[in-house]
Amino acid sequence: MRYHIHRRAVLTALLMSAAGAIVISRSPALAQSDPLPSWNDGKAKQSILDFVNAVTREGAPNFVPAAERIATFDNDGTLWVEQPMYTQLAFALDRARALAPMHPEWKQKQPFKAVLGGDMKALAASGERGLVELVMATHAGMTIEEFERIVKEWLSTARQPRFKRPYTELVYQPMLELLAYLRANGFKTFIVSGGGIEFMRPWSEQIYGVPPEQVVGSSIKTRFQMRRDIPELFRLPEINFVDDGAGKPVGINEHIGRRPIAAFGNSDGDLQMLQWATKSGGRRFGLIVHHTDGEREYAYDRKSRFGHLDKALDAAALNDWTVVSMKDDWKRIFAFN
Amino acid sequence: MRYHIHRRAVLTALLMSAAGAIVISRSPALAQSDPLPSWNDGKAKQSILDFVNAVTREGAPNFVPAAERIATFDNDGTLWVEQPMYTQLAFALDRARALAPMHPEWKQKQPFKAVLGGDMKALAASGERGLVELVMATHAGMTIEEFERIVKEWLSTARQPRFKRPYTELVYQPMLELLAYLRANGFKTFIVSGGGIEFMRPWSEQIYGVPPEQVVGSSIKTRFQMRRDIPELFRLPEINFVDDGAGKPVGINEHIGRRPIAAFGNSDGDLQMLQWATKSGGRRFGLIVHHTDGEREYAYDRKSRFGHLDKALDAAALNDWTVVSMKDDWKRIFAFN
């Protein structure tokens, strides 16, 4: 089965919000001597340690005050698994199936017919328009609290098809250590994802240690209304912002209002964020997670349906960004390994 | 001279960003025994102390964990003076005058003709459309760094007409103490203003202790672009978001992703923010700054051109929000008093 889904189409489609649930404490047990125990010694690990050392040593030429130590992380493929499809797309498909009994007309109507028949090729053929329709039908039409509950419930039962585990367990242990290491060195860590802001916020703090106010993502519009004297925010079937590609620096500026000094991604959707963070003078750090381990995770880059990494890989060489080979640089990938 | 300018029109018009400069350290010297020394003893002050005590005492029925202690503050009229006009409007007028030599056509074209002739009545008559045009001409067409520099330079020289002082000195000392008191009790303080997000960020940290990432406001769109291999964010003459009235809960949700437990405002533009924060169950706190002191500041409410306070004043009585009389509740208003 071959099909192609445009990343922007999926993102536009996934403009949503709210995931969570499986509350597993995974504070990495850092060895006193090694803040990054799941990383193999090598150039990648060393480049991280060197950067943090350079910007945190008071009086050193590249010292950066703590308030300006902003680090931004992509989510899908950088902090957690994005294959065989973005988690949020899996959520949208499950949600459409759950809602189908209330929509008998979906049996004859694309993109719903494709979803209900499991025909991914036809879903892809419905294009951005079809995906947006799918997302609006599954992510809008309720209050923000209702959506949060729906996402949490889904995450508590859904399982990733290959690993048979909750999606929130499929986060990269070396990246959790990196997040914690940066925070221990005065950094403020943000997520800047093409995924839906309200799909991530319900679980970002428990899983990543990143509170809701430090999550930036795509979004649909909401409307404030009083219902029986109770204020509520109602989710509308209308795109508000697509936080991907050239949208990432825009989202960073709007939400954070400071320029990051370090950025972490894994795909062409992160190219402009990496440029924005690193090409600004002073000591800066860019890092790309390269999915090279088909055995322990997935192997893909230039022609992948999700997490397409082509231009950003070329730019990494030109700009001296660190490219992490998951196979070579990571001792283990998941906490359960 | 009578004229009327719609608040929304001004806000839409003031959708901008960037002020700063006058770096005066004003950390309030808190008396050990009294965290709010510029407040007179009375119901208003007591209601603040009672609320903070109730939500911070571990084990108490209304205890709120520190991570959820979100407090949101309006800016114009709540933290600093908004008369005889919003500071950002004064900035836009000065900026239009400065740019006029490059635009000979403005002499014949509204709203610029009105601005250059000092005809506020004609400016008001140009309506929302005229004000938006004024703002776009003065706030867009440069990078975010250029705009920040322009705002800082303006603030370093501009003087408020009545007090003959820099605008950044016309902040309310009791409110600075309140911000500091809340932070000392584990609160995260945010600004949620109808004013331009990038007009406030350059100075919010120095003046209020609120870092850029905790400022929410109105905005125009920006575009990411590479120019001679240098990434930049360019300000476009297009409205992105109006953070006023029913837009405030929307902006709060998008930026913070948590519901405030305390909100502070002074006008009808803050009504929905106060509803959103306080009508959610649990111990909550709403406060309205009532401008009752024509001698030391300004006296206005139900029919004011800027800071119109009518529905929100009625709602305060219904919802048990604290109404602060500047005349009676504040021992002093400015640090220089």
- pLDDT by residue (tens digit) across B310-331? 999 999 999 999 999 999 999 9
pLDDT per residue as tens digits for the range B53-69: 999 999 999 999 999 99
Residue of A nearest to B189 (CA): A213
Which of A222, A230, A258 has its CB closest to that of B213? A258
Q: Do A67 and B211 touch (CB under 8 A)?
A: yes
pLDDT per residue as tens digits for the range A297-307: 999 999 998 99
Which of B224, B255, B276 has its CB closest to that of A213? B255
Residue of B nearest to A260 (CA): B213
Predicted ipTM of the assembly: 0.90
pLDDT in the model for residue B305: 86
Q: How confident is the model at residue A225 (pLDDT cuts 50, 70, 90)?
A: very high
Q: How confident is the model at residue A263 (pLDDT cuts 50, 70, 90)?
A: very high
Q: Do B256 and A198 touch (CB under 8 A)?
A: no
CA distance A70 to B162: 40
Residue of A nearest to B231 (CA): A276
**CB-based burial label for A61 (10 Å; 0-12, 13-18, 19+):** exposed
Q: What is the least distance, in Å, from the CA of A312 to any CA of chain B?
A: 15
Strands A188-196, A70-73: pairing kind: parallel
Which of A212, A246, A258 has its CB closest to that of B257? A212
Q: Which residues of A touch B214 (CB under 8 A)?
A: 213
Instruction: Please tell me if residue B157 touches chain A, with a CB cutoff of 8 Å.
Output: no
Q: How confident is the model at residue B242 (pLDDT cuts 50, 70, 90)?
A: very high
pLDDT in the model for residue B280: 87
8 Å CB contact between A100 and A114: no
Residue of A nearest to B217 (CA): A254
Angle at B148 between CA A246 and CA A51, to 5 degrees: 60
Q: Do B255 and A250 touch (CB under 8 A)?
A: no
Does the structure show a pLDDT above 70 at A258?
A: yes
Does the structure show a pLDDT above 90 at B288?
A: yes
More confident residue, B4 or A256: A256
Instruction: Please tell me if residue B250 touches chain A, with a CB cutoff of 8 Å.
Output: yes
Q: What is the mean pLDDT of chain A?
A: 92
A-interface mutation test, from B68, B197, B200, B213, most A Cβ less than 10 A away: B213
Q: What is the mean pLDDT of chain B?
A: 92
Does the structure show a pLDDT above 50 at B24?
A: no
B-interface mutation test, from A254, A256, A284, most B Cβ less than 10 A away: A254
Strands B285-292, B299-300: pairing kind: antiparallel
CA distance A176 to A333: 10
Instruction: Please tell me if residue A147 touches chain B, with a CB cutoff of 8 Å.
Output: no
More confident residue, B19 or B88: B88
CA distance B302 to B288: 13
Does the structure show a pLDDT above 50 at A31?
A: no
> Count of alpha carbons within 13 Å of A133, Cβ hemisphere only?
15
pTM given for the model: 0.91
Q: Do B231 and A144 touch (CB under 8 A)?
A: no
Q: A with B: how many residue pairs have Cβ under 8 Å apart?
A: 94
Q: Can you tell me the mean pLDDT for A150-173?
A: 98
Q: How far is CA B226 from CA A249, A276, B87, B143, B277, in A?
A: 12, 9, 33, 12, 41
Does the structure show a pLDDT above 90 at A40?
A: yes
Q: What is the least distance, in Å, from the CA of A223 to any CA of chain B?
A: 7
H or E stretch covering B193: strand B188-196
Q: Which residues of B touch A272 (CB under 8 A)?
A: 224, 231
Residue of B nearest to A199 (CA): B257
Instruction: Please tell me if residue B252 touches chain A, with a CB cutoff of 8 Å.
Output: no
pLDDT in the model for residue A14: 52
Instruction: Please tell me if residue B61 touches chain A, with a CB cutoff of 8 Å.
Output: no
Amino acid making up residue A7: R
More confident residue, B266 or B28: B266
pLDDT per residue as tens digits for the range B155-200: 999 999 999 999 999 999 999 999 999 999 999 999 999 999 999 9
Q: Can you tell me the mean pLDDT for B276-284?
A: 94
Q: Do B231 and A249 touch (CB under 8 A)?
A: yes
Instruction: Please tell me if residue A188 touches chain B, with a CB cutoff of 8 Å.
Output: yes
Instruction: Please tell me if residue A157 touches chain B, with a CB cutoff of 8 Å.
Output: no
Q: Which of A27-36, A78-87, A242-251, A257-266 has the lowest mean pLDDT?
A: A27-36
Residue with tokens 């800047």: A192
Q: Which residues of A touch B225 (CB under 8 A)?
A: 246
Q: Do B257 and A222 touch (CB under 8 A)?
A: no
A-interface mutation test, from B233, B238, B243, B319, most A Cβ less than 10 A away: B233
Does the structure show a pLDDT above 70 at A8?
A: no
Residue of B nearest to A233 (CA): B250
Buried b (16+ CB within 10 A) or exposed e, A145-184: eebbebbbebbeebebeeeeebbbbbbbbbbbbbbbbbee
Q: Do B256 and A212 touch (CB under 8 A)?
A: yes
Q: How confident is the model at residue A3 (pLDDT cuts 50, 70, 90)?
A: low
Q: How confident is the model at residue A192 (pLDDT cuts 50, 70, 90)?
A: very high
pLDDT in the model for residue B5: 57
Q: How confident is the model at residue B18 (pLDDT cuts 50, 70, 90)?
A: very low
Does the structure show a pLDDT above 80 at A174?
A: yes
Q: Do A226 and B256 touch (CB under 8 A)?
A: no
Q: What is the least distance, in Å, from the CA of B73 to any CA of chain A?
A: 16
Which of B224, B257, B275 has its CB closest to that of A231? B275
Residue of A nearest to B225 (CA): A246
pLDDT in the model for residue A142: 97
Q: Which of A170-174, A185-189, B32-36 has the lowest mean pLDDT?
A: B32-36
Question: Other C-beta atoms within 10 Å of B49: how many?
Answer: 14
Q: What is the least distance, in Å, from the CA of A332 to any CA of chain B?
A: 32
Q: Can you tell me the mean pLDDT for A85-95?
A: 96
pLDDT in the model for residue B145: 97
Which of A197, A231, A256 has its CB closest to that of B249? A231
Q: What is the least distance, in Å, from the CA of A214 to any CA of chain B?
A: 8
pLDDT in the model for residue A280: 87
